[in-house]
Structure 1
Amino acid sequence: MNDTVAPMAIDWPYPFWLAHRGAGRLAPENTLAAFRHGASFGWRMFECDVKLSADGQLFLLHDSTLERTTDGRGIAGEQPWPALSRLDAGGWHSRQFAGEPLPTLDAIARYVLRNGFHLNVEIKPTPGTERATGAAVAQRCAALWREQHRPAPASLPLLTSFQPDALQAALDTEPTLPRGLLLDHWREGWLAEAATLRCAAVVAHCAMLDAAAIAQIHAEGMRVLSYTVNDPGEAERLLAAGIDGLITDAVDRFSPAGGISG
């Protein structure tokens, strides 16, 4: 590790299990309905994707475009929030959720805070807005969590991204918020990059990780999380290898309160 840069030293208050995009695939991803559905199975930490609208509103959506998970069309980040707020983000999933709107980051954060849940915010910028989105997410999360007074102070949100520029902007804006570098392949310099960004964690695709890789990251003072783990055998393998957290769609098959079931 670069001797002049150390990973962020924080306690690790987060549960082992994280529900992917709210409730995985049982409800329309990245909606308040998905969070509520996941909570009904006992889940207490949720992952979601956040991007920036053309007029500066932070909202939940995974894809760059609207077609897959809404009745809208085009690049989401190029549209203003009044137009985005009128879209149906649930009907694509099932009739039960028809009319479910895209939620703002504020709405999700307040739901999480009121219920004492934990949140992993993936910064998902529209290409070209990496720094603007990273800074906006960090600034708003810090403000929302500072406003929290009850039922008890909540753990800070974990900010993650595949985009180093977004994480750098988050670090520059609110250095007290923990960060995690997302990886879908090993690339040259990834570990030094995570350290320079003062990351608390590396979050990697499950197929990439084994005991040696996890130990390498642990040796640099960072935690290791993995996505998206839906198979009990894979979960057992990673648990034995020393993983610190698993992100899953299988909220109805795994037990978030304890061991692996399903």
Structure 2
Amino acid sequence: MKILLILILFSTSVMAQIPFIQGHRGCRGLFPENSLPAFQHALDLGVRVLEMDVVLSADGKVVVSHEPYMNARYASHPSGEAVIRSEESTLNLYQMPYAEIKRFDVGKRGNSLFLEQKAVPTYKPLLAEVLALGEAFRKKTGEAVYYNIEIKSEPGEYGKSQPATVKEFADVVQRQIYKYVANEFFILQSFDMSVLTYYHQTYPEVRLSALVESEKPQFVLDTLGFTPSIYSSSYQYLTADMIQFCHAKGMQVIPWTINTKEQMQQFIALGVDGIITDYPNRAPKIH
């Protein structure tokens, strides 16, 4: 019990030091999401928390990607032809070896949802590449870099676009993280409460962030049966009372995805502990 208390106190003290602004998928509003150019640009802007998503390839590689398939909105075949919507289900990353995944471009077409995004040729990188990029930046500048890593897991996809068990998925990801990053420099987040439960039981030293859209903090506590380090909801459903509730329960609050300076200032005034944004260049804490 004493060791657990020390661990919790250590975790809380370190969390308080994590920079406020998190670059969503690197800086999705400015560069192709979850790409090395996006993560590098975020660091160059002053971001020190890189937020990203991970899935697995057929050969067990941890790939940085929001979807477990090629997204028709911006992905292109190795031939250069655009991926079309009807092809997405056939381009299941969990059924593709990473060498094949890497041949697809995910940046040169840009993204019609983000008009400021720079169109540059790029690919879906390995988690190892992103962590190596961040750690090289840390060694070069002497500035700490943190990582908020989301395991993209859905119960309905078990055994389809991801491993059949949470254990298999989580263990592969965690082994990769530990090759590059110490506990105090990363957060593990997921919408899948089973992932968080497994982490809590197997990796109690890891700080966990419960991702939700509109579910209230009490729902998270009731579902998990323990208190995660962070409650991370869509900003659209977050209220001052919910922030106060979380703080009273010992949870930090980091909403997603806030993209205007005015909204950022509004939630800063409400007392959130961090902000996830596609546009870190708009963040008051940076500019």
Report the TM-score range of the alignment, normalised by the length of the smaller protein.
0.7 to 0.9
Find the counterpart in structure 2 of residue 221 from structure 1. Answer: 250
- Would you say 1:113 and 2:149 are equivalent positions? no
| Of 64, 76, 97, the match for 2:120 | 97
- Would you say 1:70 and 2:70 are equivalent positions? no
State the identity %: 25
- Would you say 1:240 and 2:263 are equivalent positions? no
Return the offset for 1:195. 5.2
Query: In 2 relative to 1, CA 42–255 (structure 1 residues): closer, same or farther, beyond 3 Å?
Result: farther
Is the deviation greater in 59-68 or in 209-218? 59-68
- Would you say 1:193 and 2:223 are equivalent positions? yes
Mapped to 2, the partners of 1:182 and 1:157 lie a distance apart of 15
Query: In 2 relative to 1, CA 133–89 (structure 1 residues): closer, same or farther, beyond 3 Å?
Result: same
Structure 2: gaps of 5 or more residues? 78-87, 111-116, 139-144
Find the counterpart in structure 2 of residue 23 from structure 1. Answer: 27
In terms of Rg, which structure is larger?
A: 2
Query: In 2 relative to 1, CA 58–252 (structure 1 residues): closer, same or farther, beyond 3 Å?
Result: same
- Would you say 1:177 and 2:228 are equivalent positions? no
Mapped to 1, the partners of 2:253 and 2:147 lie a distance apart of 16
Find the counterpart in structure 1 of residue 65 from structure 2. Answer: 61
Query: In 2 relative to 1, CA 101–244 (structure 1 residues): closer, same or farther, beyond 3 Å?
Result: same
Q: How does 1:26-45 map to 2 (within 5 A)?
A: 26-45=30-49
Q: CA RMSD in A?
A: 2.4
TM-score, structure 1 as length reference? 0.84
Q: After TM superposition, which residue ranges in structure 1, 4 or more long, deviate above 6 angstroms? A: none
Deviations 1:211-258 (A, max 9, x none): 11011111111111000001222222211211000001112222444x
Structure 1: gaps of 5 or more residues? 147-153
User: Could you tell me which amino acid in structure 2 is paired with residue 192 of structure 1?
Assistant: D
Mapped to 1, the partners of 2:96 and 2:225 lie a distance apart of 35
When you count helix as a share of all residues, which structure comes out higher? Answer: 2
TM-score, structure 2 as length reference? 0.77
Deviations 1:70-113 (A, max 9, x none): 22552222222121122212223288512x12110111111112
Return the offset for 1:14. 1.1
Mapped to 1, the partners of 2:92 and 2:22 lie a distance apart of 28
Find the counterpart in structure 1 of residue 237 from structure 2. Answer: 208
